[in-house]
Chains A and B, each alone.
Chain A
Amino acid sequence: MPNSTLETRNGKLETDLKALATDVVGRAMAGGSTAAECVVREGDEFSTVVRLGQVETLKESGSRAIGVRVFFGKRSASTYSSDLSRDALDRMLNSALELAKITSEDPNAGIPEASQLGSIPGDLDLYYEDVYSLPGEQRIDYARRAEKTALDYDPRIKNSEGGSFDAATGHKVLANSHGFVGEYRRSYCSVAAVPIAKDEKGAMQRDYWYSVARSLRRLESPEQVGKVAAERTLRRLGARKIKTAHVPVVLDPLVANSILEHIFEGVNGDSVYRGASFLAGKLGQKIAGDNVTVIDDGTMPGGFGTSPFDGEGVPTRRTIVIENGVLKSYLLNTYTAKKLRLQTTANASRGLAGTPGIGPGNYFLQPGTKPPKGLIAGIPQGLYVTEFLGHGVNLVTGDYSRGASGLWISGGELTYPVEEITVAGNLKEMFFNISDIANDLEFRGAVACPTIRVDGLTVGGE
């Protein structure tokens, strides 16, 4: 039976999970592995949705899982289990040891060198118990207040997909056969509203807004969230189609994020060593305009992408990815660094199973000096994008084509809403055509981007 001494949110647990991870690594080594790595994850979640003033869902639970990766020389395999009982752990280990026999010798396989391992010191400001401090009724009230503010904001807001409040904590332990054992806890809470507005013809539009924070104290008020959600929804009413045009395009920060994510995928070591990225082989070359500087920093206190060590136990760091348009660094884990004969940038991301992937720390585009309005002011006719739909991006070629909606820019002002249009171009050119960057950088997640203007795109419509 599962180990019933492991209780969630129990102070005793920390030592238990570290001991457990170390024990699993030890048993993998005793089973003949030449190296091993174990991750244990534990988390609690609470979520509630209030719709039209009534509680719609209430969810509360916790879970744990464990994963192990073993090496026999240059062969490796991984297994995982949500059952932490002794029997289940034995099965997990045995199948990892068996599975490693069928994989190939890969000269670059392995865990980091002992000298590379460690945790960045100090309190990283990632964990606040206060995300669970509200009594149940007040959590529901957060969701209700966000929705109510949106519903009361304007008579055209007639329906809603609800207001919500979520809280979660996570605890992660990593151990490996070099003797590394590390752990950290992170907390999270968010409040959101998704109102629906209807115009006189009966056409509906939906939008949303949210606030997310590591501590309840830093969360925006539900009223503020509801108000912004209402404004974002109302401005979509009466959206029209437009004629196909070649005009400047301004991306609001939420959608500009996606451009930054494409750069991330382009510098991801896994795509680079395979030549599956249009940025492969471009290290030291100009890939964007002089105004483009992109940074990945896993060490920022309180950040949504912050952790003391990455998915392989390497201390996180700050990496300049693009400096004044020049590609300075790829983002790498141990494996892809070896493939490219470089050093890991501590961007390993580790799920429970499989080989480590590559994930961002706090990853952002350096802001400019103008307010967002200043970007729009200089545009006689153009498109301000507030939403992208679909995933029409090809990282091998850089070809880019996405569905979009937003607001039409005319005479330097935002005018009427537009929808059912496409925005297309090629990322290689787009990075050079980021002609203006605003000063409104704000982290709402691990990836953040200010408002940007991109020229040279095709806006497809009627």
Chain B
Amino acid sequence: MTKNRFFFRHYGLSESDVERYLAAALSAGGEYADLYFEYLSSTSLMVDESMVKSASQGISAGCGVRVVSGERTGYAYTDDLSPERILHAARTAALIASGPAKEPVVGFQEKPARSLYPVALPSVDAEITAKVELVMRGDAAARACDPRIKEVRASYADELRNILVIGSDGTFAEDSQPLARVNVSCIAKTDGNSARGSAGGGGRVALDFFFGEKTPEYFAKEAARQAILQLDAREAPAGEMEVVLGPGWPGVLLHEAVGHGLEADFNRKKTSAFAGLIGKRVASEKCTVVDNGTMPWRRGSLNVDDEGQPTQETVLIENGILKGYLSDKLSSRLMGMADTGNGRRESYEHIPMPRMTNTYMLAGNDDPQDIVRSVKRGIYAVNFGGGQVDITNGKFVFSASEAYLIEDGVITAPIKGATLIGNGPDVLTRVSMVGNDLQLDEGVGTCGKDGQAVPVGVGIPTIKIDRLTVGGTAKRDMGGFMQ
């Protein structure tokens, strides 16, 4: 990363300004204060009925000031980057503390810079006509797949987020974070029947990614394939059964079942079902789960987190044993543990908190075909919508959008979407086989916590879970009772 000094160049910010703001933030004491400058530019395009119906661009900029005193956080922000307004925000945030003024550390330290997403030309600055070409191609490709594909929406969205984080501990970090995504969704219709399909992807990539590696045609074919397949889907079974997850996006299981429960804030407050389980077995020994913010080009990756800390690879579960939590500055200080670089926020209007980056399970030794063959009667789920977790009782769900029955070791009929529900602290103890085919998702994940959305990634190899509740509608009696 070259020294960009974006805010110094564009807003005439100087080091002495910054020192003044930090001094105001600490004017009533407190252990720590930081300033978070953000300048976000974005583009979005949407094709519907083969017309570019929507095109928009925008700019959002501001500065958030945080003051931390013990476990207390004061926060204020401004979308006006004039010195008066930033000073006003700093003095407002300072109200959280009530003591003598504290001096910020003199002299900022810039950590050695990483460059996980070195784009020559950020996509937001690329020619709009090339982006229009992408969505039009996505639309045409989906329609060409099958005459039953009737409705297509193709969209493109990108952003470039320039950030500068300056902390009273001497933190000085800036980053320029590109993000782009193409999405195609479609509806297949026959007489009296319709079904939907959707696919997309991207990452912290330049526009050429969509002209080479992952084209709109690639996503369009996938969306159309799903929609056509779902036309013939039958009712999903209901009740506990063996579940095989395909590789890639089904890693959303890890995000919901264990990831959120291992965020340090919940464990510091002992509100997570995982609190106090470090060193304990929470998964079968075949399971090793990591969170890795350092993967080049990926949607969930960051050179530095939103507190200026370099991201890292953090082992959460190693051979089934719980090893660590995902931490930000506040929780690492209060818990006496290392900061794992997972302090993230949606924007300058938000207080940072521990969040995931790219969360995945390492590959095992099993052949994916053997995994399916080992199942007498169960389901094989390869695509999911979203998920949700209650971190306190550990219950999580994730909704399969493409799944099949497995009967006597053979994948048979596609089934309708069904929600899968389980208990985070023990679902992974029932993982009896782990495939050798780890895949990461295509770059579509957005995670919500406390009303804040951030881009994330997930990944998983094919795995077998011996027992999980499947929320289907099939009336076949599974040992329950009828009324």
Chain A residues in the interface with B (C-beta under 8 A): 1-2, 4, 51, 54-65, 67, 76-83, 88, 91-92, 95-96, 98-100, 102-106, 109, 136, 159, 161, 196, 203-206, 236, 239, 241, 243-248, 274-276, 352-355, 380-382, 387, 389-392, 394, 396-397, 399, 401-403, 405, 419-426, 458, 460-462
Contacts and interface: CB of A to CB of B under 8 A. Distances in A.
Nearest to A403: B397
Nearest to B469: A460
B419 A203 contact: no
B170 to A, nearest CB: 24
B358 to A, nearest CB: 22
B294 interface: no
B92 to A, nearest CB: 5
A244 B475 CA distance: 10
A412 to B, nearest CB: 14
B75 A244 contact: no
Contacts of A76: 54-55
Given A58-B95, A103-B55, A382-B483, 17 more contacts: A51-B269, A103-B54, A104-B51, A109-B53, A136-B95, A159-B269, A204-B271, A206-B392, A243-B479, A244-B239, A245-B481, A355-B54, A389-B396, A389-B397, A390-B386, A424-B472, A458-B238
B483 A245 contact: yes
A105 B55 CA distance: 13
23 contacts: A56-B71, A56-B72, A60-B92, A78-B54, A81-B58, A102-B128, A103-B55, A106-B51, A196-B392, A206-B390, A206-B392, A236-B393, A248-B483, A353-B58, A391-B399, A392-B417, A394-B196, A394-B416, A396-B195, A401-B417, A403-B397, A420-B423, A460-B469
Contacts of B393: 203-206, 236, 239, 419
B2 interface: no
A380 B128 CA distance: 63
Contact of B194 (A65, A239, A248, A397): A397
Interface string B60-102: 1110000000011111111111101100010010011000000
B53 A106 contact: yes
B70 to A, nearest CB: 8
Contacts of A244: 238-239, 478-480
Nearest to A394: B417
Given A63-B62, A63-B79, A276-B187, A390 B71 contact: no
B338 interface: no
A380 B76 CA distance: 54
B447 to A, nearest CB: 14
Among B44, B392, B398, B478, chain A packs the most CB atoms within 10 A around the CB of B392
B16 interface: no
Interface string B120-163: 00000000110010000000000000000011010000000000
A386 B55 CA distance: 41
B52 A405 contact: no
Given A2-B82, A421-B469, A56 B73 contact: yes
